[in-house]
Amino acid sequence: MEIDRKAFLESLGDADAIKKMDSEARADALEHRMLAELNTAIASRQNGGLQESNKAESSQFESGKYPTAAEVEAQIETRTYRSDAGFLMVLCTGANAKRLAPMPANPTLLDFFKLRFMDTANHVLQSANLAMKNGMSEEIILACLLHDVVQELIRTDHGWWGAQLFEPYVPKKVTFAICYHQALRYYADPSVGYEYPDLYRQLFGVDYVPPAYIEETYRMVRKHRWYMEPRMVAVNDLYAFDPSVVVTIDPFLDIIGRHCKQPKEGLGNDGSPVAHMWRTIIRPDQPL
Ligand SMILES: [Fe+2]
Ligand SMILES: [Fe+2]
């Protein structure tokens, strides 16, 4: 999916403001925009069925009315929340939140896809679909299916948060892939056809240097025997934004069944070290 580079850059502000943005912030702004544009494109094809927040957000992009980076910076002290709050937590429209559909008593991963992953599902389903078409292993397909859903909860360092969310339930290779896809997206690997994206070169400049922790993570992962796991998530992530493809979760049910532990009490009720994260996704309106 092509995004309008000029409109995107304008939405970030002037050249100085863009330079001042941390590279991770710019990458996340880009990813967020692509998610929103994908959701809008699919929603218009399906004639509805999209969360209102995405529609409004994307129409803002289309009309070029996004704030500059300087304006975004100025908004920090006018808000009672931080921008890295997940999609489920903060509606981008400023409209009132709607009551979420109740979850079953013992919710499964499938229930979360249907009832809570409203902003991220299209993107990860497309990514998993591409991985399947490209003949990837079941672990990589599963990692693609799960790699960004934690952004419903929190967006900063979503690779690490996402890996933690799934750690008790999926093979270690899958959490490794989810964790490190975030860092690998900046580093080319021509051996598997992954070039540093032209779009990133245009957006970040040819002299762009990722922050130290990303660079260190990349060096560690590059030498790791499982390097290809997150690399293949990055490969199948990058080209996964295609509004002409609508993917359901059905083709992945067998893979989920074979590789994901589904606690009988349900995710969030199983006493695992991350059960609280699932409960927060179930009840984002719960105070305390
Ligand atoms: Fe990601
Ligand atoms: Fe992604």
Model confidence at 129, pLDDT cuts 50, 70, 90, reads very high
The CA 78 to ligand 1 mean position distance, Å, reads 28
Q: Answer whether 42's CB lies under 8 Å from 122's CB.
A: yes
For residue 246, is it left (φ>0), alpha (ψ between -120 and 50) or beta? beta
| Count of beta carbons in the 10 Å neighbourhood of residue 283 | 12
Q: What is the pLDDT of residue 76?
A: 76
User: Higher-confidence residue: 2 or 185?
Assistant: 185
pLDDT single digits (tens) 67-90: 565 665 677 788 777 878 888 888
Single pTM value for the model: 0.78
Which string of b and e fits 141-157 if b means at least 16 CB within 10 Å? bbbbbbbbbbbbbbbeb
Distance CA 227, CA 180 (A): 9
Ligand nearest to the CA of 177: 1
- Among candidates 145, 138, 128, which has minimal Cα distance to 255? 138
Ligand nearest to the CA of 127: 2
Mean pLDDT of 131-135: 96
Ligand nearest to the CA of 159: 1
Mean pLDDT of 13-31: 56
The CA 32 to ligand 1 mean position distance, Å, reads 10
Ligand nearest to the CA of 162: 1
The CA 124 to ligand 2 mean position distance, Å, reads 7
The CA 82 to ligand 1 mean position distance, Å, reads 19
The CA 159 to ligand 1 mean position distance, Å, reads 6
Mean pLDDT of 182-202: 86
Residue spans per domain, the chain: 5-282
Distance CA 279, CA 70 (A): 36
The CA 269 to ligand 2 mean position distance, Å, reads 28
Copy the structure tokens of residue 261: 């532990």
**Cα radius of gyration rounded to whole Å, the chain:** 18
Model confidence at 19, pLDDT cuts 50, 70, 90, reads low
In one letter, which amino acid is 154? I
User: Higher-confidence residue: 30 or 109?
Assistant: 109
The CA 287 to ligand 2 mean position distance, Å, reads 30
pLDDT single digits (tens) 263-287: 999 999 999 999 999 999 999 999 8
Ligand nearest to the CA of 27: 1
The CA 16 to ligand 1 mean position distance, Å, reads 26
Ligand nearest to the CA of 238: 2
The CA 6 to ligand 1 mean position distance, Å, reads 23
pLDDT single digits (tens) 213-264: 999 999 999 999 999 999 999 999 866 567 777 899 999 999 999 999 999 9
Distance CA 115, CA 104 (A): 10
Q: What is the pLDDT of residue 53?
A: 36
Ligand nearest to the CA of 182: 1
Q: What is the pLDDT of residue 49?
A: 31
Q: What is the pLDDT of residue 109?
A: 98
> How does the average pLDDT of the chain come out, rounded?
81
Copy the structure tokens of residue 16: 């100085």
| Count of beta carbons in the 10 Å neighbourhood of residue 225 | 7
DSSP designation for 94? -
Beta bridge partners of residue 194, listed in sequence order: 189
Triad 175, 180, 182: Cα angle to 5°: 120
pLDDT score of 54 more than 50 = no
The CA 91 to ligand 2 mean position distance, Å, reads 20
